[in-house]
Amino acid sequence: MAQTTTPPKAQGPGVLIVAGPTCSGKTELALDLAERFGAEIVSADSRQIYRGMPIGTAAPSARQQARVPHHLVGFLDPTERYSAARFAADALAAIVAIHARGKRALVAGGTGFYVRALCGDVATSAAYDPSLRARLAREAQLHPTAVLHAWLEARDPRRAAAIAPSDPYRILRALEIALGPRPAQDCVPASLRSVKLAYLKVALQPDPAELDARIEARTKAMLTAGFIEEAERIGAAAVAADAVGYPFALAYLAGQTTLDELRSLMIRATRRYAKRQLTWYRAEPGAWHVPSNAAFGAIASAARERLAWS
């Protein structure tokens, strides 16, 4: 799909969505825009939803949350499962409540599937087939994760491209959706489109060299801030423990790698994750692609013109 270089028209007032890869500057940009327009921020990050993981998930700090009210941050236990359908419902409820207070709603995050679910651009599964889930659990015991990822790639290449071959939970969940009966199992839940809320979806495009530098700097800062201790506290059994970096920290704690190796593995994995996110957003329906280093002015202007923000 060709990238959109000018903001699509929308009937305002509406919702501003700022998405993009990790380390692209979404957090500070969202804060600056929210302060400029009196908005509140709804997180669209599948790991920032969990409590007790602020370092590894780069969750907004207490200081940042004091600047601007945030929603859907740190509200789940790391052992609890979540879904895109549940996110869409929770985010829409938060947006409605924000609008009821006379405020603007700004959605910010890097989980592309969450953004699509909220916009109504993808079908999500509201229920599950126990027999299919049991079958996939057996397949996961018999085959390496890479084999399951190849299976997903054959059934749903676009979704497979956004999931790491080493991420068994997301692979199995995606296979469950891809293999489930349709339309009985799949549905389109309430979304911005279905409730006729206008939105402007922005996908940030960071400079590659700057992105690499930011990833390296963030990794070093995470290790200094106590990421290893955070990973030890979360443990390997938590649903959220498959987030980028945590498996490497647990391997380090088990004596399987050195600190230098841990740092290198985290940087490499984060770069690969960012690359997958960029690939996803290149095909994002209706997205307006904006360079990260010139985003504030362009987005602020578009929000005024396209969403009736003032």
State the angle between helix axes of 259-282 and 112-119 in degrees (0 to 180), rounded to the nearest 10.
Answer: 30
Q: What are phi and psi of 282, to 5 degrees?
A: -65, -25
Within-domain flag for 4: no
Question: pLDDT, tens digit, for every residue of 231-249?
Answer: 999 999 898 898 999 999 9
Q: What is the CATH number of the domain that holds 87?
A: 3.40.50.300
Closest by CA to 11, choosing from 244, 297, 305, is: 305
- Residues 253 and 143 grouped into a single domain: no
Last residue of a domain, one of 162, 186, 210: 186
Domain that holds residue 115: 15-123+188-307
What would the 3-class secondary structure string for 193-218 be? CCCCCCEEEEEEECCHHHHHHHHHHH
- Rounded to the nearest 10°, the torsion over CA 36, 37, 42, 44 is -70
Average pLDDT score over the chain: 89
**Omega of the bond leading into 13 within 30 degrees of 0 (cis):** yes
Confidence of residue 7 (pLDDT cuts 50, 70, 90): low
Query: Is 30 in the same domain as 166?
Result: no
Instruction: Compute the distance between CA of residue 70 and CA of residue 120 in angstroms, rounded to an integer.
Output: 22
On whether residue 5 sits in a domain, the answer given is no
When divided into structural domains, the chain yields a total of 2
What's the mean pLDDT in 33-49? 97
More confident residue, 64 or 136: 64
pTM: 0.78
**For 38-42, 155-159, 187-191, 198-202, which range has the lowest pLDDT when averaged over its residues?**
187-191
C-alpha to C-alpha distance for 158 and 194, rounded to whole angstroms: 24
Contact 247, 164 (CB under 8 A): no
Q: Give the model confidence (pLDDT) of 78-119 as tens digits.
A: 988 888 888 998 999 999 999 999 999 999 999 999 999 999
pLDDT digits (tens, 9 = 90+) for 133-179: 778 888 888 888 889 999 999 888 888 888 888 888 788 888 888 88
pLDDT at 12: 52
Q: Which of these, 83, 135, 287, lies nearest to 279 by C-alpha position?
A: 287
Radius of gyration of the chain (CA): 19
- Residue 37's pLDDT band (boundaries 50, 70, 90)? very high
| Residue 183, pLDDT above cutoff 90 | no
